[in-house]
């Protein structure tokens, strides 16, 4: 139990994820990697409401980036920095995220004006799944207790207390999440 280091080789560069899966009890216990491979302590988001989304650039749901960006900007306008979206690119579903981290960033900004953080490409299922996603799936299984991500653009809502408050399928449009997000933001 305790800390361990997960490392794997992907697209000719090493990905390291520091995790405390065995002792993790909150979202804030994780430190995923940003687009440059630097740890991002999710403890930096303590007290905020966070929407976590696994993303892809060549998926039928990719236009949801526009909806996510609009949702983020609209809520940010009213609630400042109390809300954040974190995108986690993943290539596990039909090879729909084949590019490098730089390619992904460029695609998101040029095509959808994405300004919320896009993290380093990662796995969300299987033996090499990012420990954050392992925890998210344990905390909020899908339909019929499914403990895997079914496709790109699944969404998890994290409350101010660091607990998973909701999980939505790829087919759920970002704008339909405004109400549950605002409800979490009202909780102090």
Q: pLDDT tens-digit profile of 79-106?
A: 999 999 999 999 999 999 999 999 999 9
- Residues, the chain, total? 188
Burial status of residue 144 (CB atoms within 10 A of its CB: 0-12, 13-18, 19 or more):
exposed
* Residue 41 pLDDT grade (very low, low, confident, very high; cuts 50, 70, 90): very high
Separation CA 187–CA 101 (nearest Å): 35
pLDDT value at 37 more than 80:
yes
Q: What is the CATH number of the domain that holds 123?
A: 3.40.30.10
Contact 126, 157 (CB under 8 A): no
Mean pLDDT rounded to a whole number for the chain = 88
Does any domain span residue 30? no
Give 7's pLDDT tier (boundaries 50, 70, 90): very low
Q: In this structure, is residue 4 part of a structural domain? A: no
Is residue 179 within 8 Å of residue 171, measured between CB atoms? no
Burial of 88 (0-12, 13-18, 19+ CB in 10 A): buried
Q: Please report whether residue 153 resides in a domain.
A: yes
**Which residues, in sequence order, are CB contacts of 67 under 8 Å at separation 6+?**
173, 174, 175
Residue 20 clears pLDDT 70, i.e. is over it: no
Structure-token pair, residue 129: 């799944």
- Identify the pLDDT of residue 169: 95
Residues 137-150 have pLDDT tens digits of 999 988 878 788 99
Between CA 171 and CA 103 the distance in angstroms is: 25
16 in any annotated domain: no
Count up the domains in the chain and report the number: 1
In a domain, 81, yes or no: yes
Kindly name the residue from 24, 50, 56, 59 that is annotated as catalytic: 59
**51/172 Cα distance (integer angstroms):** 13
Closest CA to 157 of 168, 169, 147: 168
In this prediction, residues 170-183 reach a mean pLDDT of: 97
For the segment 61-83, what is each residue's pLDDT rounded down to a tens digit? Answer: 999 999 999 999 999 999 999 99
pLDDT score of 23:
62
**Helix ranges, the chain (H):** 64-79, 101-112, 131-139, 178-186
CA 64 – CA 143 distance, rounded (Å)? 22
Residue 135 lies in a domain: yes
108 is catalytic: no
Only one residue has tokens 């392992």, namely: 134
* Residues spanned by the domain of 139: 43-186
Tokens coding 13: 């560069």
Structural domain includes residue 26 = no
Average the pLDDT over each of 11-25, 103-117, 141-155, 163-177 and give the range with the smallest value: 11-25
Query: Which of 5, 6, 14 minimizes the C-alpha distance to 120?
Result: 14
Is 12 within a domain? no
């Amino acid at each position: 139990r305790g800390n361990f280091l997960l490392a794997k080789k992907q697209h000719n560069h090493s990905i390291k994820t520091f995790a405390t899966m065995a002792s993790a009890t909150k979202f804030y216990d994780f430190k995923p990697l940003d687009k440059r491979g630097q740890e991002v302590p999710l403890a930096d988001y303590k007290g905020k409401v966070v929407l976590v989304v696994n993303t892809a650039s060549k998926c039928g749901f990719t236009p949801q980036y526009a909806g996510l960006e609009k949702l983020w900007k609209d809520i940010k306008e009213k609630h400042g920095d109390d809300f954040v979206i974190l995108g986690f690119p993943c290539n596990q579903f039909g090879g729909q995220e084949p590019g490098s981290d730089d390619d992904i960033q460029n695609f998101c900004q040029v095509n959808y004006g994405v300004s919320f953080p896009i993290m380093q490409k990662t796995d969300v299922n299987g033996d090499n799944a990012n420990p954050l996603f392992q925890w998210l799936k344990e905390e909020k299984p899908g339909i019929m207790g499914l403990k895997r991500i079914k496709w790109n653009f699944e969404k998890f809502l994290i409350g101010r207390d660091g607990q998973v408050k909701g999980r939505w399928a790829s087919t759920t449009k970002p704008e339909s999440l405004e109400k549950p997000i605002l409800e979490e933001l009202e909780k102090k």
